Structure 1
Amino acid sequence: MVTCKETRAAIIALLKKGFTGKDIAANKIAPKSTIYRIIKNFKESGSIVAKKASGRPRKSSKRQDRLLKLTQLRDLGTTSTELAQEWQQAGVSASARTVRRRLLEDGLVLKAAKKPLLSRKNIRDRLIFCKRYRDWTADDWGKVIFSDESPFRLFGASGKKLVRRRQGERYHQSCVMPTVKHPETIHVWGCFSAKGVGSLTILPKNAAMNKEFYQHILREQLLPTIREQFGDEQFGDERCLFQHDGAPCHKAKLITKWLGEQNIDILGLWPGNSPDLNPIENLWSILKRQVDKQNPTNSDNLQALIMQEWAAISQDVAQKLIDSMPGRIAEVLEKKGQHCKY
């Protein structure tokens, strides 16, 4: 039991006046055990200040903690179990759980970020691209329509579901994510700009994305978005730019020629393996989270929710993603072509 300073002082004052512990306890100013503990502490230390609880002794010293951190940094792939074994050789008998806790205290997060592998060519192309657009402002990027394709999987796009549950509820229906051996996957194509989300279309099942089919998508989906978002501006001095990645069907002469005929300029050559530079990737993540929350159970339901949640994305969200472009460019340049945090 924690006692206030005034209570401890009163107990010691009575003690100094000749009262015994039993006499003081009769006044019921504190539990008997507390009174005897305070008297004992005063006789041993001469102080009325309560002793700090010692707690469980720490298994490792600061020097041993530093050694653990250095061992981890030498090989980032070493598991906590392996580190515990190596730490034992330094005289520390600790579990893998203690190892993880120490590393977390030092700011070492144990989960690796998943990013595409960057080749030397990828890094070089990323630097060329970012140097070209390093001076662009958010207003400049506001004239770009970003596009991409993305898969949506039935029973969860992310492949995992986090829930807080009580003991014994692990297999409760509300705490379980259903899985199937071959989940249905729906592919979509979409585009957006600072003016908001543009057209989104569900791609036919098993349809091959060749240059002819891609031209059809651009005609039926991109052109209406340009007319709606940019209107007559598209044919003036400030017309929009279209972004798509370097997929073979995107680079086909047929597509380049058709875009030219439609008076649509293409943003400079997009570097490979660079989803972190494309804000539409963040838009897909937002959309998938919203769709997953509603637990679609069949293909038709999934398709309807995709279209519904896409239409619900606000212009403010789109604008914020476009506003992040100068920061993305600057970070890739600062990291000499490596991945940025987006």
Structure 2
Amino acid sequence: MTQELYVKKILPVVKEYRDQAVAKGQGFIFQEDNDGGHGTRSEENRVKLYKDQIDLDYIDDWPAFSPDLSPIENIWRILKQRVRQHCPRTKEDLKRAIEVEWEALTQKEINRVVWGTEKGRKWTMHDRLEAVLQNEGRMTKY
């Protein structure tokens, strides 16, 4: 995703959610990982400028690609591993492999990545948050 698309398609939706939360008297802080495309590494970055323009409160020092609180990162990892097995040689091969493997991904697999289990006990978001805090944002078992 380009910074331009992020500013045009994602951040307006975030702003809308923020405005709704504020209207209800709720707080709102936007959390992203520390990917450079999120405007976290440069004062002149168009994403950062837009977030500042709309007065968006956000956490700007979170580790990049942290799967602990972003379960989608683990889904991407599974998808990438499966797509590699197709050994695509062209863009069309790659597109076809992605579509095949995306369709093959089951809800059970997604639930396992998001909620997981350890010795028969379901993980909770509280467990993940505690582990992240204890490891100061670094990788955890999740």
Question: TM-score, normalized by length of structure 1?
Answer: 0.28
1:97-126 Cα distance to aligned partner (Å, 9 max, x none): xxxxxxxxxxxxxxxxxxxxxxxxxxxxxx
Q: Are the structure 2 counterparts of residues 233 and 325 from structure 1 closer, same or farther at C-alpha, using a change threshold of 3 Å?
A: same
Matched, 1:255 2:47: yes
1:275: which partner in 2?
Answer: 66
SS at match of 1:271: coil
Q: Are the structure 2 counterparts of residues 337 and 307 from structure 1 closer, same or farther at C-alpha, using a change threshold of 3 Å?
A: same
1:310 Cα deviation after fit:
4.8
Q: Are the structure 2 counterparts of residues 293 and 262 from structure 1 closer, same or farther at C-alpha, using a change threshold of 3 Å?
A: farther
Distance 2:57 2:103 in 1: 26
Matched, 1:329 2:129: yes
Distance 1:311 1:265 in 2: 36
> Which aligned pairs between 1:124-273 and structure 2 lie closer than 5 A?
189=1, 214-223=2-11, 226=13, 233-237=17-21, 241-245=30-34, 247=36, 250-251=39-40, 252-253=42-43, 254-262=46-54, 264-271=56-63
Matched, 1:341 2:141: yes
Corresponding letter in the other structure for 2:10:
L
Distance 1:321 1:215 in 2: 27
SS at match of 2:36: coil
1:26-79 Cα distance to aligned partner (Å, 9 max, x none): xxxxxxxxxxxxxxxxxxxxxxxxxxxxxxxxxxxxxxxxxxxxxxxxxxxxxx
Unaligned runs of 5+ in 2: 116-122
Q: Are the structure 2 counterparts of residues 291 and 337 from structure 1 closer, same or farther at C-alpha, using a change threshold of 3 Å?
A: closer
Matched, 1:298 2:82: no
1:282 Cα deviation after fit:
0.8
> Which aligned pairs between 1:44-123 and structure 2 lie closer than 5 A?
none
Unaligned runs of 5+ in 1: 1-188, 190-213
1:216 Cα deviation after fit:
0.7
1:284 Cα deviation after fit:
1.4
Q: Are the structure 2 counterparts of residues 308 and 333 from structure 1 closer, same or farther at C-alpha, using a change threshold of 3 Å?
A: same
Corresponding letter in the other structure for 1:298:
T
Report the RMSD for the aligned CA atoms in angstroms.
4.3
State the percentage of identical aligned residues. Answer: 23
1:223 Cα deviation after fit:
4.5
Matched, 1:285 2:85: no
1:288 Cα deviation after fit:
1.4
Distance 2:66 2:17 in 1: 29
Rg larger for: 1
Distance 2:16 2:137 in 1: 37
SS at match of 2:131: helix
8 A contact 1:276–1:339 mirrored in 2: yes
Corresponding letter in the other structure for 2:19:
F
1:294 Cα deviation after fit:
4.3
8 A contact 2:29–2:57 mirrored in 1: yes
Q: Are the structure 2 counterparts of residues 293 and 321 from structure 1 closer, same or farther at C-alpha, using a change threshold of 3 Å?
A: same
Distance 2:101 2:54 in 1: 30
1:318 Cα deviation after fit:
6.9
Distance 1:223 1:311 in 2: 28
Distance 2:38 2:136 in 1: 29
Number of paired residues?
Answer: 125
